[in-house]
Amino acid sequence: MTTTTAAPPKASRPTKAGKAVTPVKGQTMAQAYGLSEAQLEELGQSFDAIRARITAELGEEDVEYIRRVIRWQRGCEVAGRASLFLGWLPPFWLLGATALSVSKILDNMEIGHNIMHGQYDWTRDPTLSAHGFEWDTACPGDQWRHSHNYLHHTFTNIVGKDRDLGYGILRMTEQEPWTPKALINPVAAAILAAIFQYGVMLHDVEFEKVLSGEKSREDARATLRAGLKKSGKQGLKDYVLWPALTGPSFLPAVAAGATANLVRNLWAFMIIFCGHFPAGVHDFTVEESEGESKGHWYFRQILGSANIDGGKLFHIMSGNLSFQIEHHAFPDIPARRYQQVAGEVKALCERFGLPYNSRGLTRQFGSVIGKITRLALPSKPASVTAEPTGDPTPTTKTTKTTKTDRSTKVAA
Amino acid sequence: MISEFQLTVVHSIGNSARMSTEAKRRPRTARQVLQNAVGVVDRLVAPHGVDRYLELVRPTWSTTDVRAKVVAVDRSTPGSVTLTLRPNGNWGGFTAGQHSQLTVEIGGVRQTRCYSMANSAQGGDGTIELTVRAHPGGVVSSYLNAESRPGLVVGLSRAQGEFTLPKVGWPGRPDRLLLVSGGSGITPVMSMLRTLCDQGSTVPITFLHYALTEDSMIYRQELEALAAGHGNIRLVRVFTDAPGTGDLDGFLTAAQLDAADPDWASTRTAAFVCGPAPLMDAARALYAGTERPENLRTEAFTLAQFAAEAGATGSLRLRTTGSVVENDGGTILAQAEAQGLSPLTGCRMGICHTCTRNLCSGVVRDAVTGDLTAGSEGLDTEVRICVSVPVGDVEIDL
């Protein structure tokens, strides 16, 4: 047969391989990926179908799972506190500090974060209810529910609207113009990592909005007061009451509490920064996201998130935020389900020519550190200022991808 | 003339004086000492609280919640199950005729229903007895009938309800009782009867009960034994599906009441009716024509009916704001905002759960999935108002 078998693949869909592309000037992200409104709608329906199926399946198994994690967390908490009564003996100190670290990580990530998303509201168990839950960290639950569940998850990676993009401290996108302030990026990031729980707490005070006059001083003060009150209670427990109870082990117990908080801070910082800042993750403009369809919302969530490869224990300790893409598509579905739908989500990405950004922790976090460092220096926002080549079709864009984009593992 | 105002002032002065000295003193009772200890422990186990640890040791352990363990299960009456439960120390007892909200987890989802205690409120060993009839399609009643076993732990509310015995025999008070029940509505009046028997009461009691058949009549043998052993109890059984087998036939009418208890309309007769809606409607209609309609008390547990016809009917009542609007078919959030309210909201698409509110009564349809959710007074039914559309009359805690 001498027909069209040898014809080259059609060039109109350069993103078929699922590589990250960068829009040229004047182009929206959806245009860069060659997706029409109808295709976006189809994408949205496909994701809605997964969601409906999983929602219908939820049951005893999911409740049993989260209760099992809770039992482990409470067990670690009790074991940690108990060990520290012998905290002047190094093995017991180490055991205590480790158990408390694990307890805080489980509490904040797999339990608190996920319960406060409303992932278990369907159980009608008040102890698993998004509104009733309070977690073992400085930020009061209700403040976080606003800044995270609403602002971050609704406006994911929209520059100027998603305050998780650099937390108002770091320059994390080329779209943000460089100022000398960005020079402290690496130092600021290191400090933020060490005191992450307080960073999250102060996040909702929205200092930058107070300065710009968008938020009243009274509102900010009330938020801050609630945050400090919660921080005080946490500090009282970790650094005064428990150490005092241990008597002669007071100082080792204080040190163990501080260690546990530090370990949790570093771990949470690392996992969370790997969710949206590795190379290949896209930012969006306010304009292209204004009045978006549900399909475009899914599209934005997929392109604005990155996964971390790892084993079962790693996924649990990261609160399944290692499935950040699935989490952003289905934020209120129990996180243990993300792994189950990951294959389908990846296949959909492939079908629609979208990248499915998933790599190991070292590569993702290395990439985040690279970005933090690179953006400390003035850089040309390559993608945005790039001149159109005169060819309006996006066929040439694969050659324009930035250096870091190339390393993104593709869905295929 | 001493006014009520003066009395109030005297009372409150007395109160504040006592409070101020009390505040300086150390806690007086063992309970206060315990409460203070719990306060310190709560700080140590913050932010979750001591109960979140206690319940992992034993599911019934709690410093605040009432929980109970099933200690015996009796399925001797076809179609219903009688559970004996041992509540924890937070159960404050009950008065005959009261009910409790029982919460049980089915398929990972907590379900709550009201059940009346059926045992005597007098004495006893601290256990309570609930009898549950399996209703076709009833999630909780079917589960309890099929799955109950000793060791099952359920949540309870403290006893509640005004459907309770008056102080009979006092001057000017009723001194005769008419207890009417249908099907599983027998439980509160059974508790009244058992309590009066345990108290050695001699007031005349007519116990009129409607069951489908003799076999399905709950507590039949015990009732027959009580009636035989107590001269003041008259038992009248009606088997509506098997005419001729009971003491009377048919449904509640004036003639039937006359036959069961000729003094039913007397001002000295207190009547308690619990059962299906038609029975209660008939009783209300009959007592409306008597000299003292207030002598009739009724009790029923029915969830809001699914008025599945959509369209924009009924009205939306905002409980906290106190306003009522004609339902326009939009989401509760949209309708509240049209009222000029700005309730706490987030994504407005059902994902972030920021706008969740308690549905006090009525039915809402999930605009995304089409699922219907019914709310009922006293039950916590949380709905996301941004995706909830009222179906008929709805009251929301907003």
* CA–CA dist B207, A13 (Å, integer): 82
Q: Which chain A residues have a beta carbon less than 8 Å from that of B347?
A: 149-150, 153-154
Highest mean pLDDT among B112-116, B284-288, B305-309: B284-288
> Least CB-CB distance to A237: which of B43, B53, B56?
B43
B187 contacts B130 by C-beta, under 8 angstroms: yes
From A132, A202, A129, select the one nearest A169 (Cα to Cα).
A202
Predicted confidence band of residue A409 (pLDDT cuts 50, 70, 90): very low
State the pLDDT at residue B26.
54
Mean pLDDT over B135-150 rounds to 93
Give the whole-angstrom CA distance, residue A340 versus residue A165.
28
**Between A231 and B14, residue with greater pLDDT:** A231
- A25: tokens are 């000037």
Lowest mean pLDDT among A352-361, B20-29, B293-302, B304-313: B304-313
Residue of A nearest to B346 (CA): A150
Higher pLDDT, B277 or B104: B104
Contacts across the A-B interface (CB distance below 8 Å): 97
**Selected residue of B351, B356, B357 to mutate for chain A interface (largest A Cβ count, 10 A):** B351
Amino acid at A387: E
Tell me, what's the pLDDT at A49? 96
Q: Which residues 6+ apart lie within 8 Å of B372 measured at CB?
A: B306, B308, B363, B364, B365, B366, B391
Query: How far does Cα A192 stand from its chain's mean position?
Result: 15
Band (pLDDT 50/70/90 cuts) for residue A388 is very low
Q: Give the predicted TM-score (pTM) of the model.
A: 0.82
Interchain pair A121, B382: CB under 8 A: yes
Decide: A326 and A341 in contact? Cβ < 8 Å. yes
By C-alpha distance, the chain B residue nearest A55 is: B369
Residue contact A150–B105, C-beta within 8 A? no
* Mean pLDDT for the stretch of residues A74-78: 98
pLDDT, residue B168, reads 62
**ipTM for the complex shown:** 0.85
Give the largest CA-CA distance in chain A. 88
Count of Cβ atoms closer than 10 Å to residue B394 Cβ = 26
Instruction: Quote the CA–CA distance of A300 and B261 in Å, as a whole number.
Output: 74
Closest CA to A326 of A144, A130, A114, A155: A114
Predicted confidence at residue B313, as pLDDT, reads 84
- Chain mean pLDDT for chain A: 88
Residue A324 tokens read as 């950040």
Distance, CA of B313 to CA of A266 (rounded, Å): 55
Residue B60 has pLDDT above 70, yes or no: yes
* Alpha carbons B396 and B379: distance in angstroms, whole number: 12
Task: Give the model's pLDDT for residue A126.
Answer: 87
Q: pLDDT for B355-379, tens place per residue?
A: 899 999 999 998 877 789 998 877 8
pLDDT, tens only, A124-157: 898 998 888 999 999 999 899 888 988 899 999 9
Q: What six digits make up the tokens of B232? A: 């003041």
At which residue do the structure tokens 């998303």 appear?
A117
Secondary structure (DSSP) of B242-284 = STTSSSB-SS--HHHHHHH-TTTTSTTEEEEEES-HHHHHHHH
The arithmetic mean of pLDDT across residues B264-276, rounded, is: 93
Give the chain B residue nearest A137 (alpha carbons). Answer: B47
DSSP code string of A182-225: GGGHHHHHHHHHHTHHHHHHHHTT-HHHHHTTSS-HHHHHHHHH
What is the residue extent of each domain of chain A? 39-55+136-400
pLDDT class of B160 with cuts at 50, 70, 90: confident
Q: At residue B4, does pLDDT exceed 60?
A: no
Query: What's the rounded mean pLDDT across residues A352-368?
Result: 97
| Range with the poorest average pLDDT among A28-37, A174-183, B30-39 | B30-39
Contact at CB, B382 and A129, closer than 8 angstroms: yes
Q: Would you give the DSSP letter of residue B115?
A: E
Instruction: Give the nearest chain B residue to A240 (CA atoms).
Output: B44
Contacts of A268 (CB under 8 A, 6+ apart): A105, A108, A109, A196, A197
- Residue B18, pLDDT > 70, answer no
Cis amide bond preceding B47, omega within 30: yes
Please tell me which residue, B35 or A115, carries the higher pLDDT value: A115
Q: Residue B82: its pLDDT value, please?
A: 98
Residues of chain B whose beta carbon is less than 8 angstroms from a beta carbon of chain A are 40, 43-44, 46-48, 52-53, 56, 105, 107-112, 346-347, 349, 351-354, 356, 369, 380, 382
pLDDT at B311: 62
**Could you tell me whether strands B109-116 and B99-106 are parallel, antiparallel, or unpaired per DSSP bridges?**
antiparallel
Predicted local distance difference test score (pLDDT) of residue B158: 93
On average, the pLDDT of chain B sits at 86
Task: Let me know: does B189 contact B98? Beta carbons within 8 Å.
Answer: no
Least confident of A17-31, A301-315, B185-199: A17-31
Sign of the Cα torsion A210, A216, A219, A224 reads positive
DSSP B125: S
What whole-number distance in Å separates Cα of residue A236 and Cα of residue A378?
A: 43
- Buried/exposed code over B288-321 (b: 16+ C-beta within 10 A; e: otherwise): eebeeeebbbbbeeeebeeeeeeeeebebbbeee
pLDDT at B219 over 90: yes
How far is it, in rounded angstroms, from Cα A375 to Cα A394? Answer: 27
**In the prediction, which pLDDT does B123 show?**
84
State pLDDT tens for residues B222-256: 999 999 999 999 999 999 999 999 999 999 999 99
Interface test with B, best of A150, A152, A337 (most B CBs within 10 A): A150
- A284 or B19, greater pLDDT: A284
Q: Name the maximum alpha-carbon separation found in chain B.
A: 73
**Any idea which residue has 């076709």 for tokens?**
B136
> Nearest CA to A324 among A338, A336, A311?
A338
Percent of chain B with pLDDT over 90: 61
Whether A403 shows a pLDDT value over 60: the answer reads no
Residue at B70: amino acid letter: V
By the 8 A CB rule, do A388 and A26 touch?
yes
What's the average model confidence in pLDDT over A109-114? 98
Using CA atoms, how far apart are residues A358 and A363, in angstroms rounded to an integer? 10
